[in-house]
A and B are shown apart, each in its own frame.
Chain A
Amino acid sequence: MRSSLQVVALWGKKAPSHSITAIMITDDQQTIVTGSQEGQLCLWNLSPELKISAKELLFGHLASVTCLARARDFSKQPYIVSAAENGEMCIWNVTNGQCVEKATLPYRHTAICYYHCSFRMTGEGWLLCCGEYQDILIIDAKTLTLVHTFISCQSPDWINCMCIVHSVRIQEDSLLVVSVAGELKVWDLSSSISSIQEKQDIYEKESKFLDSLNCRTIRFCTYTERLLLVVFSKCWKVYDYCDFSLLCTEVTRSGQFFAGGEVLAAHRIIIWTEDGHSYIYQLLNRWAQMGAAYKTFSGLSKSIYPADGRVLKETIYPHLLCSTSVQENKSLPFVMGYMNERKEPFYKVLFSGEVSGRITLWHIPDVPISKFDGSPGEIPITTTWTLQDNFDKHHIMSQSIVDYFYGFKDGAGTVVITSSEYVPSLDKLVCGCEDGTIFITQALNAAKAGLLEGGSLLKDSLPHKVLKGHQQSVISLLYPHGLSSKLDQSWLVSGDQDSCVILWDIFTEEILHKFILEAGPVTSLLMSPENFRLRSNQVICCVCSDHSVALLHLEEKRYLFCARKHLFPVRMIKWHPVENFLIVGCADDSVYIWEIETGTLERHETGERARIILNCCDDSQFLKPESVFSVASETHKHKSVEQRSSISYQFGPIPCPGLQVEASCKVADAKSFSGPFNVLPVKTRWSNIGFHILLFDLENLVELLLPTPICDSDHSSSFHGSEILRRARSTVEKKTLTLKRNKTACGPLSAEAQTKPGSESSAQGDNSVTFLEENDGIKRQKKMKSSKKMHPKPSRKLDANLIIDAAKLLLSCLLPWGVDKELDNLCIKHLNILKLQGPVSLGLASNEDQFSLMLPGWDSCNAEIKKDSSKVNLFSRKVLDLSNKYTSTLPNQPGMPRRLENNCDSLQESNTIVYLLRRVFLVNKLVNMPVELSCGIDSSFKMESVHNKVKNPGNDILHISSFYSYLRNGKNESHIPEADMSLLKLISCWRDQSVQVTEAIQAVLLAEVQQHMKTLRKIPINSQPEAMTENGNYEMIQIRPKMEWTEELELQCVTDNLPPQTSASLVKHDSNSNSANFQDNEDMPDRCVVEESESPGKPGHHSWIAKMCFCKLC
């Protein structure tokens, strides 16, 4: 995902499934982090009152998450590390959900411990990892590269669990581990740091066989520094740390499995089980109970430090104090943890996560709860929460893109979308439903209807089609034209649960053909690559859930054959164009080769040979029903060969891709997605629940709305220009100035229009937005139809209405509503954007594969905002401060077009939108910039300002006569870059202060809108003559930076001459008809004598504008 992509998630009513496999609470006890079997991480806000609310979902892993751990000193950097089943590791910043680092190593970790020794280590510390490999790996916590390994000389084996022991008494950090065979091993940590750095072999210091299997946890009692708690699945044991002698053993009740444990206090421990129960025990000392008499007798000052272990051994036995439990609706297994890190208020929290996605918290009291008769009591559950609770509570936020369909059902409850496909070239969203119908609708309008206030009005007028033909739920869709432009634009292929595939004409809503496959449900539809053709046409491949693969020939409407012999699910489809083979890779690593012409099975291979066949077909283009995951695993294999060949192929096929469809879209989209707006259907594994993501490509939007190359120098120069403008304005009479500007502005407009017709057309499109909005869907359909007949390529030429609509929707989603009622109204009125119904769930992309999506209810995570219900979509309180800061930095920057404030027409509105979008884009770019780069940019800005300084005095055609203006210019030069720089500095500064991108964007947007609307409020409406308005239209079409330049130059002219009569003549000119203006413009190039350019940066702009100024004004 590109950084310029803005993401909005439309979650729908049902939460995506999140089967918790790992859980942790951050050290500040404000965030719960869970990892899921689906591969996502979820951040949950934990309030000081111990209330839970889901905040963000982090996407990045393609396989089940195996463990989570702290990855830094949490007070310095709020980073955690997650590891997945397929060897992926990611470091996430939990405050903003960004992926800081990622790596894929050929190791599957089951536990990670962060270790940092500040006085002996440089760098960010190490991650000590154990898992499905021998011994311990040491991985750099910053770069995620393998630093070294701890190796054992005695019976090396996989390690199940570990803990780091910081012993104050012996001034040494040690690593205690237990292997799968039950062998306890100890490595010195702090004293072996240097040997690790020198990569010497480090063997264990001690090793002892514990005589139990399936160790789950090992914990050291830091209170006594003496006891060691080891929890096995069938028993837990307490050892003496000094000599590892066994002090006590407690076995499980039948049918229960211990899962972990922790030391609560000196001699008090908590043990929890796989089914979510926990038990708190006091380790009683028999001898101590005998009374003080014994103590004095034995001469022991403290009973916990007896002279030798054997004495201690006799003394300890567990006594159950109290327990916790969950309701009976258990779903195995529970993952639990305990923490008491927090300073103030000091909470001791036991937490658990279930496969069902439920989190439960218990506040463990210091005084054990007991019943009246003194028997162990039960600690009540403090909080419990699921993702679905969030969705239910904040249902207004969990809008789905297709919610309005519900209105069309005859009160028959909800429609379940079982598949969907977005057709960018038509802006159509095709949704297959559970009841067998297929909806086709305008995607952007559907999104608007779901998100915006008053969008419900849109619902009724929203054009949609319903295709009826399937008897069962439609579970796969394919729009062939999207994959190969040679195919008919009207075709749509859909497959259902009943193994029926229908070819539709989406324009006439007819069924062209119905294929009955007589196989399993059609889970995915694929098309053969361009280079594979059967009788000069591509074929459709249907993968069914009974592991069969059927081939269809669309042009001939023929069912070719069904390959049925596969025993395992189909993982990969490859095509052999030369020999007409279909190569099917299955989940068990076997390969089936089918001859397409005859439909016969050519070969069946397994093992090594199968792998070779699949690999050697790499050059022949292949499609995968299970998407990137197979590619990922393949590249992964290659990688592992390079990295450590001895354990290559350790991961065979990894049948755990969390969000396959989505991931594949991501990859595809990073490369091929070219439109400014896109809809991505996302579906989680093991459930039918899907949701949609709206993607806005900021860069593309800006580009399309304003077809000039965007670079920062443009910005700086525009600031520069506007600054001069501002200066000049103070000296020149306002009205005259405005008129003049209007006048000259016409010039650049049409010249621009001549050279770049694209801008013209898009601007014209803008003009008609408001009028077309209602019936625009129908019109477009017509347009598409006609274009279909002519077979042109509509793909890149996107509808201008669509672009501006997408831009408006994006602005609606980014703006904080309700901060200022008046401002809201002005926005709605002047920008013609609609207010949000509720806060939107934005996404944040860290890089191509990692991104985060806000969950419904993220806004309630900020305590301050929650109280103020009037504010909608305010990302954080910080935004307001930032926005104020920003405003104070730009008090006099007339960055906004101010001259035509009172012209509330669509052109001005679209222009403002473009301006705002550009601002957003700039901020997004600045904040996302890596730190190293930003320094360079800063200096380049300096360079730019220097450049300006040099350039302007040299502009002698302009500055020749007027000493006055020269002075002014001199003054300006010291001024302009500063104002400009200060803004950039401010934003760069935000980045360093770890202000989130979204916050920065919103702050800037708010400030800019406020700035803009402030002027709107001041100026009474309709105070200017109408002719002005008309001129204004044309002026606004031109491209901003150029306009700034014009203004600057022109102003300089004005200040030079300042004849009062000029203004009068200009008024006259202005009131001319439009055609006259056009004529002027057309004449202009002729009048423009090519002249030596003064500004080397932009000769094109400069010379002719300067020329023009002279011709027309001076």
Chain B
Amino acid sequence: MATAMAATAVERAVLEEEFRWLLHDEVHAVLRQLQDILKEAALRFTLPGSGTEGPAKQENFILGSCGTDQVKGVLTLQGDALSQADVNLKMPRNNQLLHFAFREDKQWKLQQIQDARNHVSQAIYLLDNRDENYQFRTGAEVLKLMDAVMLQLTRARNRLTTPATLTLPEIAASGLTRMFAPALPSDVLVNVYINLNKLCLTVYQLHALQPNSTKNFRPSGGSVLHSPGAMFEWGSQRLEVSHVHKVESVIPWLNDALVFFTVSLQLCQQLKDKISVFSSYWSYRPF
């Protein structure tokens, strides 16, 4: 049967040599490349300890939408936290201008950015352990490492690409509504999230449903962006969304980070593929 094997002895020797090169040299080269990319990504998140010490710098983002100018927001991002927010809302009925801002002493953590940042640093930590001196012995070992790194990177990316789907009561209960200095009017809800590379602010205007209303009350489920007409129960009141305003602004460094994630994920996959080519040869002999 041995003759039936595709690889003859010579061929096998060549393959083994090639595989050894892959494990000893190529893997480390890819890992170094990965590390460089991820460090670059981590810089975008201004990870503490990643070189720039001291408090993260503040960035102002003016949020608007191309359609209307009913809502305008200026959000200040400091690392993964919103340190300041100014929201101007022009009421559609009476053109009255509402303005509310964050309390001075409070910051609002954008959990999506924090999670993405932490996932990246976990990935970097996984790679840090395997420097040039570390010798990979089996292909499976590389695959396992790549799987672990890819898991972190996928999660990091998914945190940014998939905002939480919240129900309206959850938005109402969230700490964000309590962040504003003149407290938010009871008929306004605010939500801030990241969607891909954009910082998004949604303002919901509500009106109470009359208890004897003929409208069929159906509480709406979780959603990233609720549409007008969505209903929910808050306290003892039944409320309905009357207007939705969504404004957004691109965060350039988030865009970079997403690109870095995609590139490094592809690098990981390519390395896995390279290892897999040899998979038939390390079924029982670890080399």
Contacts and interface: CB of A to CB of B under 8 A. Distances in A.
A421 to B, nearest CB: 19
Given A331-B141, A649-B158, A497 B111 contact: no
A233 B155 contact: no
Contacts of A64: 148
Contacts of B157: 652
A233 B125 CA distance: 9
Contacts of A472: 5-6, 280
A641 B165 contact: yes
Contacts of B165: 641, 645, 648-649
A926 B161 CA distance: 52
A355 interface: yes
A584 to B, nearest CB: 16
Contact of B114 (A157, A498, A688): A157
Contacts of A257: 128-129
Interface in B127-154: 128-131, 133-134, 137, 140-141, 143-144, 147-148, 150-151, 154
B265 interface: yes
A1033 to B, nearest CB: 50
Interface in B199-218: none
Interface stretch (A75-83, A429-437, A932-940): A429-437
Interface stretch (B11-19, B21-29, B115-123): B115-123
A17 interface: yes
B69 interface: no
Interface in A629-666: 641, 645-656
A730 interface: no
A656 B170 contact: no
Interface string B1-15: 110111000000000
B255 interface: no
Chain A contact patch, size range: 35 or more
A546 interface: yes
Nearest to B132: A255
A158 interface: yes
Contacts of B5: 435-436, 471-472
A545 B129 contact: no
A355 B222 contact: no
B254 to A, nearest CB: 15
Interface string A956-997: 000000000000000000000000000000000000000000
Nearest to B126: A333
A333 B151 CA distance: 17
A652 B155 contact: yes
B144 to A, nearest CB: 6
B1 A332 contact: no
A329 B276 CA distance: 23
B115 A650 contact: yes
Contact of B166 (A37, A569, A645, A654): A645
A180 interface: yes
Q: How large is the interface on B (under 10, 10 to 19, 20 to 34, 35 or more residues)?
A: 35 or more
Contacts of A686: 140, 143-144
A889 to B, nearest CB: 52
Given A37-B144, A641-B165, A645-B170, A158 B222 contact: no
A85 B4 contact: no
Contact of A471 (B4, B141, B148): B4
B60 interface: no
A293 B129 CA distance: 48
A650 B159 contact: yes
Contact of B1 (A412, A546, A650): A412
A687 B283 CA distance: 7
Given A437-B1, A608-B162, A14 B284 contact: yes
Contact of B140 (A17, A434, A545, A546): A17
B266 interface: yes
B269 interface: yes
Contacts of A646: 111, 164, 166, 170, 174
A652 B166 contact: no
Contacts of B167: 645
B2 to A, nearest CB: 7
A333 B165 CA distance: 37
A498 B6 contact: yes
A645 B280 contact: no
Contacts of B140: 17, 686-687
A409 interface: yes
B256 interface: no
Given A85-B151, A607-B161, A645-B167, A473 B280 contact: yes
A418 B283 contact: yes
A588 interface: yes
A687 B279 CA distance: 9
A357 to B, nearest CB: 11
A132 interface: yes
A651 B159 CA distance: 9
Interface string A263-306: 00000000000100000000000000000000000000000000
Contact of B133 (A255, A416, A569, A648): A255
Nearest to B163: A649
A498 B111 CA distance: 47
A181 B80 CA distance: 12
B252 interface: no
Contacts of B164: 645-649
Given A255-B133, A648-B164, A180 B155 contact: no
Contacts of A134: 109, 111, 114
A123 interface: no
A521 B280 contact: yes
Nearest to B7: A472
Contacts of B148: 64
A437 B5 CA distance: 11
B187 interface: no
Contacts of A409: 1
Contacts of A355: 141, 144
A848 B125 CA distance: 37
A389 B213 CA distance: 74
B280 A655 contact: no
B125 A132 contact: no
A332 B134 contact: yes
B155 A688 contact: no
Interface string A520-548: 01000000000000000000000001100
Contacts of A418: 283
A656 B151 contact: yes
A17 B157 CA distance: 30
Contact of B269 (A157, A332, A567): A567
Nearest to A545: B276
A213 B49 contact: yes
Nearest to B134: A332
A436 B140 CA distance: 23
Nearest to A569: B269
B273 interface: yes
A1060 B49 CA distance: 104
A19 interface: yes
Contact of B265 (A213, A436, A588): A588
B137 A132 contact: no
Interface in B166-215: 166-167, 170, 174, 196
Interface in A318-354: 329, 331-333
Contacts of B284: 14, 416, 688
Given A134-B109, A567-B269, 8 more contacts: A132-B118, A416-B283, A436-B4, A588-B265, A589-B158, A648-B164, A648-B222, A650-B159
Interface of A: 14, 17, 19, 37, 64, 85, 132, 134, 155-158, 180-182, 213-214, 233, 255, 257, 274, 329, 331-333, 355, 409, 412, 416, 418, 434-437, 471-473, 497-498, 521, 545-546, 567-569, 587-589, 607-608, 641, 645-656, 686-688
20 contacts: A182-B48, A213-B49, A257-B128, A332-B130, A333-B129, A412-B2, A435-B4, A436-B4, A471-B4, A473-B283, A521-B279, A521-B280, A546-B273, A588-B269, A608-B162, A645-B167, A648-B164, A649-B165, A655-B154, A687-B140
